[in-house]
Amino acid sequence: MAHGTKFVIYAALAGNALISVTKFIAASVTGSAAMMAEGIHSLVDTGNQVLLLHGMRQAMKPADARFPFGHGKEVYFWSFVVAIMVFALGSGVSIYEGVHRVVHPEVVTDPMVNYVVLALAFAFEGVAWWMAWRAFARQQQGRGIRETVRTSKDPTTFVVLFEDSAALLGLVVAAIGLTLSQVLDMPVFDGAASIGIGIILAFTAIWLAMRTKSLLIGEAAEPALVADVTERAAALPAVVAVNEVLTLHMGPDYVLLNISVDFADDLPAGEVEQAIETLTKEIRTSHPRIQRVFVEAESRPA
């Protein structure tokens, strides 16, 4: 999955870099605010892909004395930074440019250049979106889009997917604004399109920030994993009761597990140690994502 995700990000990076240059050239030739907003959007997306790749690379660093549980949350941090970038740069600059052009409208020259660039950008973005969608669909496993995003612990795939979705929608808005500006001879629609693009980016950024913030703070593993661990622990002859099972995602594929169990009172210390070892091995074998297991021997609460 990591290799597939990286491939999707590299593809989006290459496409956005080429598209942003093309859009900026078109904006300078035609004077279109909507095209300028689209160029800024693609440039921000290019930087975002670089940040996601950096986060994935940092997350692979091994644990050390300062970070005993590894660097897995680097992915969550840089995904959150991406959301801030989309909001501050992509949305903020697009809305500012659009308001400026609405207040001081300018006629767009050579509109055909913009249409050609938008068509090419839509084709490139469409390919990148399709690749991101295929990677995302592999995570769905019969679930809906909203449920998949809510339960996913790897933000890289859905961040790229929603960035590409916002890009495609932004291209449509830019095309509508340029068309209305030309047909109605009202340059104000070009500025309005830039504002529309900024609003799309703002909603996308806020949604991504909320989702990645939750991962950054620390989410538990899915209920099915917790239930299976609880069942396995309760099935051990040495265990009287399972008091509590706590999990925390330290990264997309790194789960920290803390389980509190009540062992039989007459059990010798050596057998308690053996039971803990057996439980730990069984849990790690059944769930490779659980990389650290802490077992607490506590009496069952009254």
The domain spans of the chain are 2-217, 223-297
Tokens coding 5: 């995700």
pLDDT, tens digit (0-9, with 9 covering 90-100), for 142-164: 888 888 888 889 898 889 899 88
Torsion of CA 20, 25, 28, 33, to 10 degrees: -30
**Burial zone of 265 (CB within 10 Å; 0-12 exposed, 13-18 middle, 19+ buried):** exposed
> Which residues fall within 8 angstroms of residue 101, CB to CB, at 6 or more apart?
33, 187, 188, 190, 191, 194
Do residues 10 and 120 make contact, with C-beta atoms less than 8 angstroms apart? no
Instruction: Identify the DSSP state of 90.
Output: I
Specify the length of the chain in residues.
302
**Burial zone of 201 (CB within 10 Å; 0-12 exposed, 13-18 middle, 19+ buried):** buried
pLDDT for 302: 66
Backbone φ and ψ of 207, nearest 5°: -65, -45
Among left, alpha and beta (phi > 0; psi -120 to 50; other), residue 239 is beta
CATH class of domain segment(s) 223-297: alpha beta
Q: What is the CATH number of domain 2-217?
A: 1.20.1510.10
**Cα(57)–Cα(98) distance, rounded to whole angstroms?**
37
Q: How far is CA 221 from CA 59, 88, 225, 249, in A?
A: 18, 32, 7, 6
- Confidence band, pLDDT 50/70/90 cuts, at residue 1: very low
pLDDT, tens digit (0-9, with 9 covering 90-100), for 127-145: 889 988 988 888 887 888 8
pLDDT for 187: 87
pLDDT for 100: 86
For the entire predicted model, the pTM comes to 0.84
pLDDT, tens digit (0-9, with 9 covering 90-100), for 193-252: 999 999 999 999 999 999 999 999 999 999 999 999 999 999 999 999 999 999 999 999
- Confidence band, pLDDT 50/70/90 cuts, at residue 279: very high
**Cα(113)–Cα(97) distance, rounded to whole angstroms?**
20
180-201 mean pLDDT:
90
